[in-house]
Chains A and B, each alone.
Chain A
């Protein structure tokens, strides 16, 4: 079927508008990704020309990388910890802010504010607050008669301390939950009341099912974002103590840019990319078992 002149004209216009996006995708995403895959097959320090070594970098990661295992543990610990606590905290805050509180707008602003502070700034300020001798947290503990805590120096405490900071920063989740809560039909809630149900019944049988797509969205997006955490390790702990906060992205950065192992770092990047893609696909594939859509 031949296109009309108008259709051809529209197609050209559409392609013209799409061109910047396509070029951006090509040069800033697709080509660098292919480049990383290519570099991952080489032994390249950045100081000498790369030498093709096939899959040796991948083999090395699983057989003799000193940090891979602890990095996987740290990354998963952080991602799961930050996502679960972040979702619970945000959901609770959203439920609270959905009530007719006095000064509700102010509370909403206060809880959203941390999200718009750059992570690097928050990390530096929080590392001051966590400071063992002069930090505000230990000052309060001291006033209450407790021993001081080595927030960022103790390998058991460093990760929970970072998770706490990241949860504090999850104002975006609160806003999304809040929007979702305002979309829960009041008629359903009133129906539960008519049947003699209390707050818990409304929450368990109406709010949570109706909110499940929003919970799913927040869960997925924060999981992907938290798996790629970098700044707190860079600004607060440098991966320590004892590699307890050696997140995968920080390890990739350190191996590539500080230790001149670009080939190895690229192989780690490719594996990490595949892991996140597989995890996302798995979550999407199973989402129908735990989300509810009104249209169903």
Chain B
């Protein structure tokens, strides 16, 4: 009898081990690579999100590979060369289509149910296939310091695309807001352009941002299908020169050197260094909210236009690699992490806008994420940001053009000469155009 009981216990233990081993073996292991910007504590926050996923999914376990943002491209490229890619990752926008062209990214067009599908404008596509959706919806906007407008008795910039300022109106207002150390504006005699205390306008001259004005003028870097180079068109040259002239002729913007040394947007607005500045929607959560406690009163409006009211939309995508041995699990994870419920703090905190169409479908849905103290007043935010993003946004070319970063490098390599007035926009573009054309043709999707 004792002998039997002992055998029974041994069998029970073996059975339990077998069952738990089977359960353990059934967990599909995948890896997810993401960047942290400044501190490794960000990596801990990402890990918390993954912990939530791991706790709620019995069959899948995700391991995080956290990499400093500064080294991210290098790390990913090295992993690709060594054929050691993770299953999924966050990807910098300019790399995405290059990876797609090399056949490394999985088609994610089938990943979402119809009611979960992200906005079409957030799809990275190559040869008709969707290889990733932006993790957030971001657009370029015009921010301004309300107090400076009030002091100058000027109306705030328009908050809806149909009322967008023309470039001329924008410059006129910028001139009225620009003040030298004696309180004079560029319209006054004796204005001291070397000692400007408040710059009226800073139209962002980042290499991928400035072309939005060219798009508004009917030009841009390339056509939206990536087939035609538009850099050399008169419309693009005119827009580029107009932005350069904000500093060179109109005396309302900082030099590019001064601009590069300016602190974050909230501080430049709060201190009255700049009255109006263009940048992305993310600034609300990343920067502007930090100075609310110090008394920053800012507003948000739409970009000025040359012809049509246009903004750029962007956002780095989540991607799934074809090399993954667990594609379904990897897609399950990406679908989960793309779900707004799992990035809710980033959305209500003003850094991200949702990606799924359902969050834009009704006023009620929009209010859920946008009507809070971090965001600007809802009525203004709704028209200046949400409606603008839905109706007037066009994609930055990295959504469809391979190696847009190489093209960007080339266009930007001597752009300081335009910003500093050593060359006119026409002279500079004419000079670089043959090389840009060749690079464009080498990379154009065929």
Spell out A's residues near B (CB within 8 Å).
Answer: 45-48, 64, 66-67, 131-133, 147, 150, 153-155, 240-243, 257-260, 262
Contacts and interface: CB of A to CB of B under 8 A. Distances in A.
Interface string B398-431: 0000010110011001111100000000000000
B81 A133 contact: no
29 contacts: A45-B98, A46-B78, A46-B81, A47-B80, A47-B81, A47-B98, A47-B99, A47-B104, A48-B102, A66-B435, A66-B439, A132-B257, A132-B260, A132-B261, A133-B261, A133-B263, A153-B257, A153-B261, A154-B257, A241-B416, A242-B413, A242-B417, A258-B73, A258-B77, A258-B405, A259-B403, A259-B405, A260-B77, A260-B98
A66 B434 CA distance: 11
B437 to A, nearest CB: 12
A248 to B, nearest CB: 16
Nearest to B72: A258
Contact of A66 (B73, B405, B410): B410
Contacts of A66: 410, 413, 435, 439
B433 interface: no
B258 interface: yes
A45 B442 CA distance: 14
Task: Find the residue from A131, A242, A243 having the highest chain B CB count within 10 A.
Answer: A242
B435 A243 contact: no
Interface string B26-69: 00000000000000000000000000000000000000000000
Contacts of B73: 257-258
A67 B261 contact: no
B103 to A, nearest CB: 7
Contacts of A243: 413-414
Given A153-B260, A241-B416, A242-B416, A257 B77 contact: yes
B98 A155 contact: no
A131 B78 CA distance: 33
B261 A131 contact: yes
> Lowest 9 CB-CB distances: which A-B pairs, in order?
A46-B81, A47-B102, A153-B257, A150-B257, A132-B261, A257-B74, A242-B416, A241-B416, A48-B102
B438 interface: yes
B19 interface: no
Contacts of B258: 132-133, 150
B18 interface: no
A45 B77 CA distance: 9
B405 A46 contact: no
B23 interface: no
A243 B413 CA distance: 6
Interface in B70-85: 73-74, 77-78, 80-81
Which size class do B's interface residues fall under? 20 to 34
Interface of B: 73-74, 77-78, 80-81, 98-99, 102-104, 194, 255-258, 260-263, 403, 405-406, 409-410, 413-417, 435, 438-439
B103 A48 contact: yes
Contacts, number: 66
Task: Find the residue from B405, B409, B439 having the highest chain A CB count within 10 A.
Answer: B409
A47 B100 CA distance: 10
A131 B257 CA distance: 10
Nearest to B409: A259
A230 to B, nearest CB: 13
A18 B25 CA distance: 47
A240 B206 CA distance: 14
Contact of B102 (A45, A154, A155, A241): A45
Contacts of A64: 435, 438
A64 B439 CA distance: 10
B74 A258 contact: yes
Contacts of A257: 73-74, 77-78
Contacts of B438: 64
A46 B98 CA distance: 11
Contacts of A147: 194
A47 B91 CA distance: 15
A59 to B, nearest CB: 15
B80 A46 contact: yes
B2 to A, nearest CB: 62
Nearest to B413: A243
A15 B278 CA distance: 68
A240 B416 contact: yes
Nearest to B81: A46
A153 B413 CA distance: 13
Contacts of B406: 259
B407 to A, nearest CB: 11
B38 to A, nearest CB: 13
Given A242-B414, A260-B77, 11 more contacts: A45-B102, A47-B80, A47-B81, A47-B102, A66-B439, A132-B257, A132-B261, A133-B258, A150-B258, A243-B414, A258-B74
Nearest to A239: B413
A275 B265 CA distance: 46
Contacts of B81: 46-47, 262
B262 A133 contact: yes
A154 B74 CA distance: 28
A236 B74 CA distance: 18
Nearest to B82: A46
Contacts of A46: 77-78, 80-81
A193 to B, nearest CB: 54
A46 B99 CA distance: 10
Nearest to A254: B409
A131 B258 CA distance: 10
Contacts of B414: 242-243
A155 to B, nearest CB: 6
Nearest to A246: B413
Contacts of A241: 416
A88 B369 CA distance: 64
Contacts of A153: 256-257, 260-261
Contacts of A155: 416
A66 B407 CA distance: 11
